[in-house]
């Protein structure tokens, strides 16, 4: 049975890893969030002392988490003190809240939501059935294997039973992207309720759709490689090659191309290579091995 514990630093200390509400650091993030979310969902509140809406949101989050009576944890990270993790996750505005489950981010929102919406968000997070989770995993596996029809059918069935399941909606959107039907993908994405348009799954699908449109104009991989061989120092050709490689499914090659630009000239075209990497990470999803590898390599370049 889970027991509610005090906020870290509010008088007395808890056994490490058992706190219901706590602060974390870059060093402890894996233990406090990724590993802890294997046991129960973890909300991560990215905040800063100067952020007014953060001061409004955090007490509401804490109240909602206590009301959940141990079904969910809250971990807070000051982005001023620890910028690496939010930078890797593409956090560009705060407050930003990410929900982790089974070691990966599954949902989230930005801005200071009212208490009722936060309570509903937590209820959906902890109330997800094992059956729905298994169906989602099966659909995602089918999509990754190229079986778009099976994936679309399963995602669609989940949505029929739970129209507010944004992971299923995002998955169905990515099925249409995979088939090149970008209009249907956009129509599906537009079905997201207004209070969920900034959730992590929807943001990922939106990034994938934007990327698909952008990649369509990137050009042919072989032609771009030949052009780059003639002028190895041309960052625009290398950038276009990264988009074309990603469109062809070569995520490792796309990473190599963009990271080479960052390593040589990070400020090129208003930091375009780093920004494109962030969009890749968002579109691929936090659970993709290419995202984890790319974030680690990018961090090594930026924070070395």
User: Model confidence over 19-28: pLDDT tens digits?
Assistant: 789 999 999 9
62 pLDDT higher than 50: yes
Model confidence, pTM: 0.56
Mean pLDDT of the region 227-252:
92
Q: What percent of the chain has pLDDT over 90?
A: 48
Residues annotated as catalytic are 51, 54
pLDDT of res. 304: 58
Mean pLDDT of the region 85-95:
86
Question: pLDDT confidence of 31, banded at 50, 70, 90?
Answer: very high
199 pLDDT higher than 90: no
> 114: Cβ–Cβ under 8 A, 6 or more apart, which residues?
60
Mean pLDDT of the region 77-101:
89
What distance in Å separates the CA atoms of residue 87 and residue 100, rounded to the nearest whole number? 17
Comparing 4-13, 116-125, 184-193, the range with the smallest average pLDDT is 4-13
Positive or negative: CA dihedral 170, 42, 58, 78: negative
Does 247 or 123 have the greater pLDDT score?
247
Contacts by 264-271 with C-beta closer than 8 Å and gap 24+? 264/235, 265/235, 266/301, 266/302, 268/235, 269/235, 269/236, 269/239
Longest Cα–Cα distance of the chain, Å, equals: 65
- Of 163, 165, 185, nearest to 173 by C-alpha is 185
Cis amide prior to 95 (ω within 30 degrees): yes
Mean pLDDT of the region 228-241:
93
pLDDT of res. 133: 65
Total Cβ atoms within 10 A of residue 32: 24
11 pLDDT higher than 80: no
Query: What mean pLDDT, rounded, does the chain reach?
Result: 85
18 pLDDT higher than 70: no
Does 163 or 7 have the greater pLDDT score?
163
pLDDT of res. 129: 43
């Amino acid at each position: 049975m889970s027991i509610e514990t005090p906020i870290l630093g509010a008088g007395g200390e808890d056994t490490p890893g058992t706190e219901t509400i706590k602060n974390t650091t870059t060093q402890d993030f894996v233990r406090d969030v990724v590993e802890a979310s294997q046991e129960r969902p973890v909300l991560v509140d990215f905040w800063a002392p100067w952020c007014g809406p953060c001061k409004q949101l955090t007490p509401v989050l804490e109240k909602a988490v206590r009301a959940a009576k141990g079904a969910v944890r809250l971990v807070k990270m000051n982005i001023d003190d620890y910028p690496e993790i939010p930078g890797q996750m593409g956090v560009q505005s705060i407050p930003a809240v990410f929900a982790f489950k089974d070691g990966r981010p599954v949902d989230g929102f930005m801005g200071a939501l009212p208490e009722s919406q936060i309570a509903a968000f937590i209820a959906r997070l902890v109330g997800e059935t094992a059956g729905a989770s298994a169906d989602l995993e099966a659909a995602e596996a089918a999509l990754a294997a190229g079986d778009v029809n099976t994936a679309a059918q399963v995602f669609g069935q989940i949505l029929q039973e739970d129209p507010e399941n944004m992971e299923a909606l995002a998955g169905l959107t990515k099925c249409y992207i995979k088939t090149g039907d970008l209009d249907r993908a956009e129509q599906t994405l537009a079905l997201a309720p207004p209070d969920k348009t900034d959730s992590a799954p929807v943001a990922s699908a939106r990034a994938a759709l934007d990327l698909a449109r952008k990649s369509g104009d990137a050009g042919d991989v072989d032609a771009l490689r030949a052009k780059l061989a003639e002028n190895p120092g041309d960052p625009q050709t290398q950038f276009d090659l990264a988009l074309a490689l990603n469109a062809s499914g070569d995520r490792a090659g796309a990473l190599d191309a963009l990271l080479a630009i960052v390593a040589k000239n990070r400020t090129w075209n208003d930091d375009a290579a780093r920004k494109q990497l962030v969009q890749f990470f968002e579109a691929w999803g936090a659970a993709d091995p290419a995202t984890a590898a790319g974030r680690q390599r990018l961090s090594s370049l930026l924070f070395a």
